[in-house]
Amino acid sequence: MLPKDMKVIMEYLDGEEAASSMSLIRRLYFKAFAKAAFNLWTRNEELVTLQWKNVSFQGNGSLEPYISFNLVFRKTNKDPAAGKCLISPWGTSHALITLPPQPDDPEIDVYPSMREWITHLQDKMQRPLQPEDYVFPALASTDLLKFGEPMSRTGIENILDRLTDASGVMEGRTGKFTTHCFRRGGAQYRFMFAEHKWSMKAVKWWGGWSAGDDVGTVMRYLLDELSAYEEGFSDIMMKSRNKDRHESFMGGSRSP
């Protein structure tokens, strides 16, 4: 799931077809969830159990606005050598990540989508969110929220499958997106395709990989699935070839 895929899905969610066939709560829910997952590189179980006490919006006046996420119980964030491990008053390890608005890239800009979702969620609850409330509570097929229960993997995948089909994001490709597509896609984008590419050190930190994970392990994670999704290259020299397909190292442009 790269930004171009996110763009297709987000434009669909903002369009008339989705508005007529999908509830507002489901659209706002998924926009916030997908953008958060893409930016934070969280595993599904980490994001669905995110509580309000671990999210905050900051910045007013002369301060740069941002949204912060306190990711508790990350799979590998208990490694003191990783340089990101903090110890809370309750003795739990956590990683604090801050994200500013990204108005130039609205398809992955989590700041406004999360604000809109939280406002809608509080309206549904008819009260302000409490520290222990789930940011992404379970959502029944009837669109009723189960406030004390986190969303299941199946619940997220059902919405993702529906949007994949309806938006046509996979047109011309095979396979399907899973909940892990946001973590892997976000990492691939920042390391290989973004205008300002991140270093391997930054990627390991942001993704919560242990300091003990060698470069080869992380590179295989970044590249193996990307290779699996690439199409054939028999027409690579044809002018009519879709130039958006991955065919150069680190996402570089083709030579004229």
pLDDT in tens, 59-84: 765 578 999 999 875 555 444 444 44
Residues paired with 139 in a beta bridge: 145
Which residue has better confidence, 65 or 219?
A: 65
With 80 as the cut, is the pLDDT of residue 226 above it? Answer: no
Rounded (10°) CA dihedral 105, 111, 117, 118:
180
Averaged pLDDT, 170-185? 89
Rg (the chain; Cα; Å): 19
pLDDT attached to residue 85: 43
pTM above 0.85, yes or no: no
Q: What digits encode the pLDDT tens for the residues 80-130?
A: 444 444 433 333 445 789 999 999 999 999 999 999 999 999 999 999 999
Residue 58's pLDDT band, with cuts at 50, 70 and 90, is confident
pLDDT attached to residue 253: 45
pLDDT attached to residue 72: 73
Residue 209's pLDDT band, with cuts at 50, 70 and 90, is confident
pLDDT attached to residue 111: 95
pLDDT attached to residue 60: 60
* Mean per-residue pLDDT over the chain, rounded: 82
pLDDT attached to residue 254: 41
pLDDT attached to residue 92: 41
**Owner of token pair 């597509």:** 181
Residue 219's pLDDT band, with cuts at 50, 70 and 90, is confident
pLDDT attached to residue 175: 83
Phi, psi dihedrals of residue 117, rounded to the nearest 5°: -65, -45
Nearest one of 51, 40, 36 to 149, comparing CA atoms = 51
Alpha-carbon distance 110 to 57, whole Å?
12
pLDDT attached to residue 129: 96
Q: What is the 3-state secondary structure (H, E, C) of the chain?
A: CCHHHHHHHHHHHCCHHHHHHCCHHHHHHHHHHHHHHHHHCCCHHHHHCCEHHHEEEECCCCCCCEEEEEEECCCCCCCHHHCCCEECCCCCEEEEEEECCCCCCHHHCHHHHHHHHHHHHHHHHCCCCCCCCECCEEECCCCCEEEEEECCHHHHHHHHHHHHHHHCCCCCCCCCCCCCHHHHHHHHHHHHHCCCCCCHHHHHHHCCCCCCCCHHHHHHHHHHHHHHHCCCCCCCCCCCCCCCCCCCHHHCCCCC
pLDDT attached to residue 172: 84
Residues paired with 51 in a beta bridge: 134
Q: Label residue 33 left, alpha or beta by phi (over 0 means left) and psi (-120 to 50 means alpha).
A: alpha
pLDDT attached to residue 78: 46
Q: What digits encode the pLDDT tens for the residues 122-160?
A: 999 999 999 999 999 999 989 999 999 999 999 999 999
